[in-house]
Structure 1
Amino acid sequence: MENHFHPQMTLDQIRTISAIGLAHIGDGVFELLVRTHLCKQGKATGKGLHRATIKLVCAEAQSAHAKKILPLLTDEELAVYKRGRNAQVHSVPSHASRADYAAATALESLFGWLYLQGHQERVNTLFDAIMSPVETEEV
């Protein structure tokens, strides 16, 4: 049986995935990490939990998160980040600036790329750096 939580892909297979594809995967990875983080805190349920999640995963927040971890990235990670940032996105949600949306796409691409490579420890390190100073409000 295939382990869908730990996909087995070669570097060549991962390289063939577009930046938008990596962002698509990374969006899910990042949101799952945020949801888990919030549930572990035990501070929110139902509607409040959803609002707290949205507050942390919106493009503006992800752009701020990206700025925090940029100094921590390796050269290879930075190249993946830039590839995501420069992806040709055809529509930007009205609530986000183009710059914030590009940075959010870059962050998601990076998390997708790390996840597909099985670099869980690195994902955890970067997510900890993002979340450590963040005080999630009581909801």
Structure 2
Amino acid sequence: MEQYFDIRLTDDQLRAISSVGLAHMGDAVFEILVRGWLCAHGKATGKGLHQATIRLVCAESQSQKAQRILPLLTPEELAVFKRGRNAQVHSVPAHASRAQYAEATALEALLGWLYLRGQKARINELFCTMMEE
């Protein structure tokens, strides 16, 4: 039986996943981290909690956060990031530039890749750096 809360895919399995697929996974990983961070820091409640989440998970915010961690990435992580940045996305939100959206997709692809490799400690390390104020 697979352990989907503690999944660990092989390198071959990860290479078979498209960069959009990795970003799809990473989007969920990032959102759950942001929600946990907001709850742990008591930043908002109720409707404000939802609004705060939206502000942190939008492409503009993710693009800024990606810039904070780029110098910390290993060569392998940087290759995954670049693969995500080059993903063929067909729609860009009106409130983000194409470059911001590409950086956000790259960040999500990296987080998805790390998650599917079972590297939660590394995700946490990068997330903490992203969230430093």
* Category of TM-score, reference length = shorter chain: over 0.9
Unaligned stretches of 5+ residues in structure 2: none
* Deviation string, structure 1 residues 74-124 (Cα, Å, up to 9, x no partner): 000000000000011111111111000000000000000000000111101
Q: Does 1:123 align with 2:123?
A: yes
Give the SS at the match of 2:49. helix
Q: Which has the higher mean CA deviation after the structures are superposed, 38-47 or 114-123?
A: 38-47
The CA distance in 1 between the partners of 2:47 and 2:16, in whole Å, is 38
Give the SS at the match of 2:43. coil
The CA distance in 2 between the partners of 1:89 and 1:61, in whole Å, is 18
The CA distance in 2 between the partners of 1:65 and 1:44, in whole Å, is 20
* Deviation string, structure 1 residues 11-48 (Cα, Å, up to 9, x no partner): 10111000000000000000000000000112322110
Identify the residue that residue 73 of structure 2 maps to in structure 1.
73
Q: Once superposed, which parts of structure 1, at least 4 consecutive aligned residues long, lie more than 6 Å away?
A: none
Identify the residue that residue 108 of structure 1 maps to in structure 2.
108
Identify the residue that residue 25 of structure 1 maps to in structure 2.
25
The CA distance in 2 between the partners of 1:2 and 1:79, in whole Å, is 28
TM-score, length-scaled by structure 2: 0.97
Identify the residue that residue 4 of structure 1 maps to in structure 2.
4
* Deviation string, structure 1 residues 28-70 (Cα, Å, up to 9, x no partner): 0000000000001123221100111111110000000011100
Identify the residue that residue 84 of structure 1 maps to in structure 2.
84
Q: Does 1:94 align with 2:94?
A: yes
Unaligned stretches of 5+ residues in structure 1: 134-139
- Tell me how large the CA RMSD over aligned residues is: 0.9
Percent of aligned pairs with the same residue? 68
Give the SS at the match of 1:90. coil
The CA distance in 1 between the partners of 2:108 and 2:32, in whole Å, is 12
The CA distance in 1 between the partners of 2:43 and 2:74, in whole Å, is 34
Q: How many residues align?
A: 133
